[in-house]
Structure 1
Amino acid sequence: MLHDAGLQALRDAARLSPDNLPLRHHLAGQLLSKGYLAEAEAEYRAALVLAPRNAEITAGLAEAFVRQSAYGAALAALEPLLATPGYPPRLGVLAAQALLAEGDTARAAHRYYEAVSRDPSVGDADLAARLSAPPAPPYPVAAPVPASAPADGAEVDRSGLSFADVAGMEAVKEALRIKLLLPLQQPELFAAFGKRAGGGVLLYGPPGAGKTHLARAAAGELGAAFVNVGLADILDMYIGSSERNLRATFDLARRNRPCVLFFDEVDALAARRSDMRQAHTRQLVNQFLAELDGVDQNANEGVLVLAATNAPWYVDVAFRRPGRFDQPVFVPPPDAAARAAILRILCRDKPLAEMDFDAVARVTDHFVGADLKGVVDRAVEAKLHQSISAGRAIPLSTPDLLAAAQSVRPTAVREWMATARNYVMHANDSGAWDELMPWVKGKW
C-alpha cells in the first residue's frame, strides 16, 4: 500500500484507464523517483505491454531492476534495444552499471564510454571512477563484519493461504501432508514409529507452476510461521558472510518453530560442487548441508524446509540423501480439470456472468498458473474498460476469458519439458528422474 496520496491517486487513475500509456509511464517514473521500486517495476512492465520497444520505458524498467540489484533482469530488458544502432546513450550507462555489478568490467567500460562519447550529459562520475579503479584481487576479501552478524533480508511472515487455495495438485498436496504437516499435527502417532516433525521437500517443475504458492499454502495449512528466503538474503561478496547469513536464517526459523523455511531458486545455493571452480562457493553448499542435518538430532524439529527449483538436475546429489531433500516432488503443469479449478479461484472475487470454466480450460493447453492469471488479468482489464464506458460494472463472461486466452502465449513449459527430456533420456542412470518419464514422452 502506498503511503503517498498523490501516487495512490495516480495508481487509481491508471487502474481506471489501463490503456493510457502516458499516464502509466508518468506513474512509473514517479514511483521510481520516490523509491517504490517493486511498484515502479510493475508499472513499467504494464507500460511495455502497450509499447513493447519504447526506449524510455525500457530504460525506466532497467533502472528499477538495477536499483533492486536484479542485474541479469536489467540486461535482459536492455539487450533488444542495445542491439539496435543509435540506441539512446542512457541505455548504455544502465547496461554498464549492471555489467560492472556482475563483474564484467571490460564490457561495462565499453558500454559506458561509448554512451558518454555520444552524449556527455549521461555521464556518471561515480561509475566512471569505479570503471577506472585498479582491478579487484582474484579472490574475495574477508568480510569486515562480526561473526555473529545475522541475515538482514529474511523475515518471519504468516501465510493467509491454505491448500483450499491451491487448485488441483492433489498428489503434490498429499506428499506435503505426509512428509511435513501430519508429523506436527499428529505427533504421538508419528513418534510411535520414530518419526520426528521436520524435514525437507524439494519442489521442482516448470516456471509458474505454483511452487511458491504451494509453500505458502503449506505454512497456512499448518498455521506455522513462514520464512521466504531469496538469494539476496544469503549471497554476499565477502568470504564467510554467505555461510553466516545461511546459519542465521536457519536460526531464525528455529526460534519461530513450527516454521516453514522456503528457499526459492535453491539450485543457486545448492549447486553441484563438481561444477564449482572456487572453494568458497563449495563451502556454502557444505554449510547448507550442515544446517539441514542440524547440530543434533532435535535441532531442526518443527522446522519444515521447502525448496523450489526449475533445474533440479543442477542441485548437488548430496541434498537428496535421506534426512535432507530425500523426496523430490514434481509440480506438474495443470491438466484441464486443474486449469478450470485455477480459473474458478482466480475469478471468485469478481462480478461474473454464467461461466464455463471447462471451455476456457480446453483452449489453454500448456498454460500454467501464472499464465492463467495473465489471462484473467487481461480479461478483467478489458471488462473494466467497458464498465467505465457504460458507467456500471459489467460481469465477466466466458467469451471474455476465451478472447483473453487467444492473446496470451504460454510461458516456458515447452522449453522446460525439452530440457527435462534430455536429462530423463540421456542422464538418468540413477533413476532420479523416472517420475518425469510420462510427461516428457507426452505431447510437449
Structure 2
Amino acid sequence: MTDPLSALEAAVQALPDDRTLRVRYAELLADAGRHGEAIEQASVVLREAPEDDAATAVVRRAALAAAEPPGSTPAAVPAGAPPAPSDRHEDIDWSELEASIANPTEPPFVERVVAEHDEELVAEAAETAEDADPVAELRRETVRLADVGGLEVVKRRIDESFLQPMAHPEIAAAFGKKLRGGLLLYGPPGCGKTFLARAIAGELGAHFISVTLSDVLDRFIGESEKNIHRVFRTAREHAPAVLFFDEMDAIGAKRSGNTFSSFRNVVNQILVEMDGVDSQNDGVYVLAATNHPWEVDAALKRPGRFDRMVLVRPPDDDAREAILRVHLRRRPIEGIDLGDLVRRTKGFSGADLEHLVTTAAEKAMTESIRTGSVRPMRMDDMRAALKEVKPSIGPWVQTARNVAEYSNGSGEYDDMVEWLREEKQL
C-alpha cells in the first residue's frame, strides 16, 4: 500500500504551484512529527500567498510542537497564544526574569495591524529593492538601419511592416493600429540579427533592453516569471522602448517538449505580458531573434504576439564588402582586393567574415613580431586565411531545407523558401 506522505510528496513535485496540495502535504508532515519539513513546505506557500490561513496554522502548530521538550505531550494552545510553562518551572519568577533581560527578543510569530501609510512604505521599499538589481541593462541606441551594410530586402521589409506604422501613430490610429508590436527576426547564426534589433531601436528613438536566457532564468520557483514581469515593467516605464529577447528558441521553447515547469511558466508569463488583459504595452516594441524559429512555442507566434517574422539572410555581396571594410579599417593593409574577397566569401556569415580577417591579421602579426617591424596585411594573408576559415551556416541550411520541404504548410517560412530557391538549395 502506498504511503500517503510519499504519494503527496510526488504530487507536490509534479504540481509545484498547487498551494492546496502543498499545504495538505505540510499538514501530514506535521502530523508525522516532521516539524521542520512541515514548516519548510508551508513557508513556500506563504512566500507566494502571505494571507493563506491554512499554511499559517501549519507553521504555528509545527513550531510550537518542535519547541516542546522531548517526551512531553503538548497541550492544546489557542491560536496566537504562547505555550503555558511546564510544571517543572513553577519556582521561576517570570516577571523578575523578564525584567532582567535588557533586550528581550520578539516572539517567532506576531500579528500587527499595518497602517495605511505603512503599506505605502512597504510597497515602495519592495519596488526599490527590485529595481536595485535590474534584470537587464537599459540604454539608448545610436545605430540606424543605414549603418547595416547591404541586406536591402530585409531592411525594406522591416521598414514597411514595422517601422513606418510606428513612426506615424496618427495614421496607424486611424486604421485601428495600436502603438505596440512584436517582430521575430530569424535566420542563420552570426548574420546580424542583434545588430538589426539595435538599429530598429535607433530608428524609433527608443530605449533598448536586451534580454537573454541567463537574465531571466532562476533556480528558485517563481523567480523566472518575476524576472519576465520586471523587464516588461521596465520597458513600460521607459516607453518608447524596444524589448529584445535574444535566442528566443531557448527562452520561449515549445512547452509540449519541455519537461521543466520553469521553462513552461516563462512562456506563459511572456504570453500574459504581451497580450494579457492587464498588459499596458503602448510604446513597447517587443523584438526577438532566433536561429531556429521552428523551436519557438507556437502560441508566441500568434496574432498580437510575434505575429511578424522576417528572415535575416546571410550577407549579400554589398553586405560582405561593407563588413570586410569595417574589420579591415583599423588594421595596416596593403593591396587588398575587396572584389576578389567578396566573390570568394559567398555563403559566409558576418561572424565568419570577422573570423577571416582576424585570422589573416594574426598571420601578418606573427611575421611582424619575427622581423621586428610592422608588416601590413596583404592578399597572401587573406588567401591563406581562406584555406582555414570556412562558412559555418551549412548545418543551419540543411535544417532549413527540411523545414521548407516538410513543415511549411501554413506558409510562415515562405521567405526562407524563396531564399533557398534563389541559392539553389531547394
TM-score category of the 2 structures, normalised to the smaller one: 0.5 to 0.7
Deviation at 1:275, TM superposition (A): 1.8
For the pair 1:332 / 2:313, whether they are aligned, the reply is yes
Write the letter of the residue equivalent to 1:159: E
1:184–1:197 contact (8 Å) kept in structure 2: yes
Q: CA deviation at 1:390?
A: 5.9
Which residue among 391, 394, 410 is the counterpart of 1:410?
A: 391
**Range 324-333 or range 390-399, more displaced:** 390-399
Bigger shift: 143-152 or 186-195? 143-152
CA–CA separation in structure 2 for the residues paired with 1:414 and 1:371: 12
- Take 1:152 and 1:375, find their aligned partners in 2: how far apart are those partners? 37
Q: Give the structure 1 partner of residue 292 of structure 2.
A: 311
2:200 is matched with which residue? 218
Match of 1:322 in 2: 303
Kept after mapping to 1: 8 A contact 2:224/2:262: no
1:383 to 364, 368, 372: 364
Which of 355, 380, 404 is 1:374 aligned to? 355
How far residue 358 of structure 1 moved from its aligned partner, in angstroms, is 1.9
Size of the aligned set, in residue pairs, is 303
**1:243 paired residue number:** 225
Written as runs of structure 1 = structure 2, the 5 A alignment for 1:431-442 is 431-441=411-421, 442=423
**Structure 1 vs Structure 2: percent identity of aligned residues?**
48
Q: What CA distance in whole angstroms lies between the structure 2 residues aligned with 1:143 and 1:382? A: 63
1:209 partner amino acid:
C
Question: Alpha carbons of 1:234 and 1:160: their partners in 2 closer, same or farther (altered >3 Å)?
Answer: same
Secondary structure of 1:157's match?
strand
Task: Report what 2:147 is aligned to.
Answer: 165
User: What is the SS of the residue equivalent to 1:333?
Assistant: coil
Matched, 1:357 2:361: no
Q: Distance in 2 between matches of 1:223 and 1:414?
A: 36
Letter in 2 for 1:176: I
SS of the aligned residue for 2:172 comes to helix
Q: Distance in 2 between matches of 1:182 and 1:440?
A: 28
Change (3 A) 1:215 1:400: same
Q: Which residue of 1 aligns with 2:158?
A: 176
Aligned to 2:402: 422
The answer (yes or no) to whether the contact 1:143–1:240 under 8 Å persists in 2 is: no
- Which range moved further: 211-220 or 304-313? 211-220
- How many angstroms does 1:418 deviate by? 0.8
Larger displacement relative to structure 2 (182-191 or 355-364)? 182-191
Mapped to 1, the partners of 2:202 and 2:329 lie a distance apart of 20
Match in the other structure for 1:188:
170
| Alpha-carbon distance in structure 1 between the residues aligned to 2:147 and 2:46 | 43
State whether residues 183 and 196 of structure 1, in contact with CA within 8 Å, keep that contact through their aligned partners in structure 2: no
Q: Structure 1 residues 422 and 161, CA, compared in 2 at 3 Å: closer, same or farther?
A: same
Matched, 1:346 2:327: yes
TM-score normalised by L of structure 2: 0.64
Helix, strand or coil at the partner of 1:300? coil
Distance in 1 (CA, whole Å) between partners of 2:157 and 2:276 is 23
SS in 1 for 2:308: coil
Q: Deviations over 1:408-429 (max 9, x none)?
A: 1222x11111111112212222
Pairing partner for 2:189 from 207, 224, 227: 207
Secondary structure, counterpart of 2:286 in structure 1: strand
TM-score, scaled to structure 1: 0.62
Equivalent in the alignment of 1:61: none
Corresponding residue number in structure 2 for 1:153? 135
**Contact kept in structure 2, 1:357 and 1:398, CA below 8 Å:** no
CA distance in structure 2 between the aligned counterparts of 1:285 and 1:375, rounded to whole angstroms: 38
CA offsets 1:119-163 (integer angstroms, 9 cap, x no match):
xxxxxxxxxxxxxxxxxx9xxx77969996467431112334222
**Maintained 8 Å contact 2:180/2:284:** yes
1:275 aligned onto 2:280: no
- Counterpart of 2:16 in structure 1 is none
1:374-402 CA-partner distances (Å, limit 9, x unpaired): 01112222333444556665443444323
Report the Cα distance in structure 2 between the residues aligned to 1:204 and 1:143, rounded to whole angstroms: 42
CA distance in 2, matches of 1:283, 1:195: 29
Query: Which SS does the other structure have where 1:328 is aligned?
Result: strand
Is the 1:172–1:329 Cα contact (8 Å) retained in structure 2?
yes
Deviation at 1:301, TM superposition (A): 1.7
For 1:229, the equivalent position in structure 2 comes to 211
Q: Distance in 1 between matches of 2:373 and 2:147?
A: 30
Counterpart of 1:250, as a letter, is F
Instruction: Look up the match of 1:26.
Output: none
Distance 1:158 1:183 in 2: 21
Against the structure 1 CA distance between its residues 169 and 294, is the aligned structure 2 distance closer, same or farther, given a 3 Å change threshold?
A: farther
